[in-house]
Structure formats: C-alpha cells, structure tokens
C-alpha cells in the first residue's frame, strides 16, 4: 500500500457533501450527488476534476446588485454554468508546452550544427605562402613531404596546428611550391 493511499478515497478528494453515485461507460463520466439533491458530472475520462451541474434545484434568487456583501454570499465551490466550456487554449496547453520544448530543442540542435560547420575559414598567409585545405588522409609529414620541407617548418608557419588530429577541411599555410 502506498504512503498516501488514505487520500485516494472520495471523502478526501470530493468537496464535502458530495457522493459518487454512478459511472456512464458510454461518455466515460462519473456522476455525483450534492447534499441538496443536485446532480453533478465530472469531465470525461477523469475520476476527479472540474464538476458541472447536470440537474438540481433552481438557482438561488438573485440578490440586489447594490448589496456590499454580494461576493460573500455567493457559493464558490462549483461552476454553475452548464454551457461554459474551457477554451481550446486551455485544453491544448499540454500539447503547446510540449511543442515549445521540441522547438527549443530543434533550435539548439541547428545552432550547434551551424556553429560546428562555419564554412570556409578566412586565413591570411604571409607572402611566399599559399593556402592548403586539409584532405581526408593527410598527415603533417605527408604535407611537409609534398612541399619539400620539414614538419617543424610546417608547425612554425601554423602555430596551434595539432598534427595528431588534423581537422578535414581546415586551411593551413604552406610554403609556395
């Protein structure tokens, strides 16, 4: 038995004086009876929730609009409007929240992908050097052999170049061949 299972009863979840009297399997709604004999109905597919009056005694006589105690005398526990329905925004709020989260996730993914592929890199080589784009399979030694120089000379022309992990597509400066 769960820790809070004593709060799963009708006495704990329904307003005082309400009693569950039935279930309609066709509409999937529960019916409740109030102390004054009026019948209330819950939302479809939910055991507890916003109750709406289905039938009952006539509403209380209207009070004088000038009465300063008008708000204190009105019952506030239930909705007496049988025709009032929640707006579509209220019904779709969980879906809209989910779509906002998905949109933010996709925005982050596209931003992350876009920052990784910055396109062509603007590199300025000194006079007597030319630009070389690293191809798949290139190594520092292979590039140095191709231009007839040493790996140390290649590293001097390109400070910060990591020969252990040459990024494909990155531009480096090499001595003019």
pLDDT 10s digits, 98-145:
999 999 999 999 998 887 665 555 778 888 888 889 999 999 999 999
* Structural fold of domain 129-175: Membrane-bound Lytic Murein Transglycosylase D; Chain A (3.10.350)
pLDDT 10s digits, 61-100:
565 556 665 555 555 555 555 556 677 778 888 899 999 9
Span(s) in the chain for CATH 3.10.350.10? 129-175
Residue 155 has pLDDT above 60, yes or no: yes
pLDDT 10s digits, 20-34:
888 889 988 888 888
Mean pLDDT, the chain, whole residue set: 79
C-alpha distances (whole Å) from 5 to each of 9, 61, 75, 123, 158 are: 8, 41, 30, 69, 70
> Residue 75, exposed/middle/buried by CB under 10 A (0-12, 13-18, 19+)?
exposed
DSSP character at residue 41: E
């Amino acid at each position: 038995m769960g820790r809070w299972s004593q709060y799963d009863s009708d006495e704990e979840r329904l307003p005082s004086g309400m009693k569950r009297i039935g279930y309609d399997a066709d509409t999937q709604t529960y019916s409740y009876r109030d102390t004054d004999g009026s019948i209330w109905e819950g939302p479809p597919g939910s055991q507890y929730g916003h109750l709406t009056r289905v039938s009952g005694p006539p509403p209380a006589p209207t009070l004088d609009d000038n009465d300063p105690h008008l708000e204190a005398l009105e019952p506030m526990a239930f909705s007496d409007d049988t025709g009032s329905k929640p707006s579509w925004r209220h019904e779709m709020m969980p879906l809209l929240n989910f779509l906002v989260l998905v949109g933010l996730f996709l925005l982050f993914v596209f931003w992350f992908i876009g920052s990784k592929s910055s396109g062509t890199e603007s590199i300025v080589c000194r006079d007597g050097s030319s630009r070389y784009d690293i191809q798949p399979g290139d190594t520092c030694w292979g590039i140095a052999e191709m231009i007839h120089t040493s790996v140390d000379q290649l590293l001097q022309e390109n400070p910060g170049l990591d020969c252990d992990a040459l990024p494909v597509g990155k531009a480096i400066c090499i001595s003019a061949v």
